[in-house]
Structure 1
Amino acid sequence: MMKFLFVSVVAFATLIANAEAKSENRIKVKTIVSVLYLLFGELKTKMFSQFNEITVPAEGENAFLYCEYSIASGADLPVTVTWKVGDGPRYATSIYECTGYTNSAKTCSTEQVFDPAYEGRIKFEQNYLFLASVQASDNRNYWCQVALEGSSEQSDEEFDMKSIVLEVVYNYYDKNLVTGNVQEDSVQQLGKEMVLHCDCFEMTSTWCEDVYWYKGPTDPDNSNYELIYSRWTSHSAVSPETFKHYQAYGDWEYRTVLSGNSLIVTTLKASDAGRYWCEVRTAGYRNDGEWGTDARSTVVEIV
């Protein structure tokens, strides 16, 4: 019996090692906001911790949005850094792209601006997105997306993104903001049950009412995702009542359930491996839009 147990442990350890080998190019992104601004004629710097932050430069000043990434293997492979704005990973639109970026060179081989509003004002180098002459319209939720270049096959592990909220003080009003966080990457066993934990942190007068779990991206353009489970809130027009709606999608319908904001998946399949996203947001009827949305991802290996 003890011999069998020993062999089983060794076999499981081997499977975990193989899973880690498969994901050696796994990417993790971290964002921090740094704002350089003039105060009483003196240059000052503010640094904000990771997760979704607010920064408040005045119009006409410059903002520096910091985005760093790591590759699990430690290799310094070229990546494409795409900055997006909008309401979560599924709906954000590209404003700028930098290709051929490496952690050693910290410069772009090529750059492209997709949104004319940022033309001549935006550049990424030294892990900073430089945004010149900040305008009131720059009040947005920014997403730093990093994807490995030259991958032999599409892999959602070789991709990650994080958010930063930028706020211009002269356009200030009491915006709502939620931030989310998920557990670290994990190795799960085939046929077993897994729990993916997700926390939502309420800021100012906001509420963490809705949550969407999805997987991906599922396409080479890193724009499509597979919905797994959602909980959303609706409001009655004739009374103060609100209603919670729960829905699982496709093959996940009979295998998933929510516990708080966390996702429970039963009878794990090999195809369940990949990058999972927990997107938390305020209820749609509150009209907070991208200011009331955040998302974080975690990678799951199945052995």
Structure 2
Amino acid sequence: MKVEFRLCLVLFAGVCVYAAAVPNEKSHRAPDVWRQMTVTVENPEVLSIVDYGTVLNCDYSISTGEDLPVTITWFRGNGPLYSTKVFSCNGFQKYYNTCTNQQIHDSQLAGRIWLGSGTPSLVVAPVGYYDNDNFWCQISLEGEELVDNGEIGVDEKSVVMRVRYGDNEVPQFHTVSVSEENIVTSVGDTITLECTCNGTHCYDILWYKGPVNPSDNEYDMVYEYQMSHWSGPGMIVTTDQAYNGWVGRATLNGYSLVITNVKSNDAGRYWCEVQDNEVPDTASDAKSVVLEVNPFTCSGKTDGLYGDADDCSSYYQCYGGKTYHQACAAGTVFNSDPAAIFVCDVPANVAPPCGTKVN
């Protein structure tokens, strides 16, 4: 039997609002146990010599410790978002140290790349001068495990191959770092995904989420900051914007991404990539952060009304440390403006993202 606790709160003179103390019942399909993929590389930069062989080391672990079948995919290029597939291996398990099938996708590397000694590491032999690039080792769960675990079931790390030929060596690259690889927050909170860049060419910043589809290397763009600095004196910002559902909620603080009014579907893997789009021969670097989003809670919040980040036609009421989920009348949305006369109003009187009011 479901028991509801009903509380009368006077929000306006003579108006009594009844709230049921029931938890937020919004949910999505989730596995019994979350399986997070973590990829590691022993050497993020490898110095190679033309006509000799080299190994790009890569390994992985699953948070549950299981040895499940995985897909190993190696990409090359500036960051996960723009890289192209060069090698793939399906059905790999550490116990068997073999792939059920494998394929080379880059004709320039045909006959020169393979997996080394039953590991995800990539052997390149002989090395060519134009192999100088970022190589990305992506490991993903397969089948239903990938469907259930989504973006956290996929991870990748980069290995920069610096190719030497005689006295010639490529320019110094830069390194991207994140302060935490896993961050936990709650619906409605504000969170900062911290990212830094050290080295040369730390100019252009891309934040994206995914991969949405590992097989096609698809990602959702969150925020882009690009500048032009070779066309004349000084630097000119050419792009500084959030995309899609992050408009009005995502901003940059240095290289870090700030997300306000966190939604439940914001959960997933975010990538901080820093590059120099005007020096295409210089590899970029990127690191990822896994964001876990818990349901809204009144714990630690002062009594009052809070918008439902997942549903503009609802809101939360915090009273005495308890959480009450309220619904607005049909055709109205919650108005977060402290000066608003009505808690819920027509969209024309409510500022974005829930309304259309223009200041």
TM-score (normalised: structure 2): 0.68
Following the alignment from structure 2 to structure 1, what is the Cα–Cα distance between the partners of residues 215 and 157?
A: 17
Q: Aligned with 2:130: secondary structure?
A: helix
Which of 127, 133, 147 is the aligned partner of 1:140? 133
The alpha carbon displacement at 1:257 in A equals 1.3
The AA in structure 1 aligned to 2:183 is S
Which residue in 2 is equivalent to 1:27? 37
1:184 and 2:194 are equivalent in the alignment: no
The structure-2 alpha-carbon separation of the partners of 1:138 and 1:174, relative to structure 1 and needing over 3 Å to count, comes to closer
Q: Aligned with 1:106: secondary structure?
A: coil
Query: Is the CA contact (8 Å cut-off) linking 1:106 and 1:127 kept in structure 2?
Result: no
The structure-2 alpha-carbon separation of the partners of 1:253 and 1:174, relative to structure 1 and needing over 3 Å to count, comes to same
Following the alignment from structure 1 to structure 2, what is the Cα–Cα distance between the partners of residues 294 and 26?
A: 22
The AA in structure 2 aligned to 1:92 is S
The structure-2 alpha-carbon separation of the partners of 1:198 and 1:167, relative to structure 1 and needing over 3 Å to count, comes to same
The structure-2 alpha-carbon separation of the partners of 1:269 and 1:278, relative to structure 1 and needing over 3 Å to count, comes to same
1:239-297 CA-partner distances (Å, limit 9, x unpaired): 31212342111221111111111111111111111111111112x23x144x3411111
The alpha carbon displacement at 1:137 in A equals 2.2
Following the alignment from structure 1 to structure 2, what is the Cα–Cα distance between the partners of residues 207 and 88?
A: 14
Q: Aligned with 1:162: secondary structure?
A: strand
The alpha carbon displacement at 1:108 in A equals 1.9
1:173 and 2:169 are equivalent in the alignment: yes
Which residue in 2 is equivalent to 1:197? 194
The AA in structure 1 aligned to 2:155 is D
Task: Name structure 2 gaps, 5 residues minimum.
Answer: 1-22, 295-359
Q: Aligned with 2:212: secondary structure?
A: coil
Name the structure with the higher helix share: 1
Following the alignment from structure 2 to structure 1, what is the Cα–Cα distance between the partners of residues 214 and 80?
A: 15
Which residue in 1 is equivalent to 2:121? 128
Query: Is the CA contact (8 Å cut-off) linking 1:23 and 1:72 kept in structure 2?
Result: no
Following the alignment from structure 1 to structure 2, what is the Cα–Cα distance between the partners of residues 61 and 174?
A: 17
Following the alignment from structure 1 to structure 2, what is the Cα–Cα distance between the partners of residues 295 and 220?
A: 17
1:224 and 2:234 are equivalent in the alignment: no
Which of 95, 115, 119 is the aligned partner of 2:106? 115
Which residue in 1 is equivalent to 2:68? 77
1:88 and 2:79 are equivalent in the alignment: yes
Q: Aligned with 1:207: secondary structure?
A: coil
Query: Is the CA contact (8 Å cut-off) linking 2:39 and 2:60 kept in structure 1?
Result: yes
The alpha carbon displacement at 1:131 in A equals 1.4
Query: Is the CA contact (8 Å cut-off) linking 1:23 and 1:157 kept in structure 2?
Result: no
Which residue in 1 is equivalent to 2:334? none
Following the alignment from structure 1 to structure 2, what is the Cα–Cα distance between the partners of residues 253 and 207?
A: 27
Following the alignment from structure 1 to structure 2, what is the Cα–Cα distance between the partners of residues 251 and 106?
A: 42
1:114-170 CA-partner distances (Å, limit 9, x unpaired): 112222221112342111211112212111011111225261111111111112211
Query: Is the CA contact (8 Å cut-off) linking 1:213 and 1:263 kept in structure 2?
Result: yes
Task: Name structure 1 gaps, 5 residues minimum.
Answer: 1-11, 13-17, 33-47
TM-score (normalised: structure 1): 0.80
**Identical amino acids, percent of aligned pairs:** 36
The structure-2 alpha-carbon separation of the partners of 1:57 and 1:126, relative to structure 1 and needing over 3 Å to count, comes to same
Which of 16, 36, 58 is the aligned partner of 1:67? 58
Q: How does 1:36-75 map to 2 (within 5 A)?
A: 48=43, 52-53=44-45, 55-75=46-66
Which of 252, 255, 263 is the aligned partner of 1:261? 255
1:248 and 2:242 are equivalent in the alignment: yes
Following the alignment from structure 1 to structure 2, what is the Cα–Cα distance between the partners of residues 109 and 219?
A: 21
1:162 and 2:157 are equivalent in the alignment: yes
The AA in structure 1 aligned to 2:122 is L
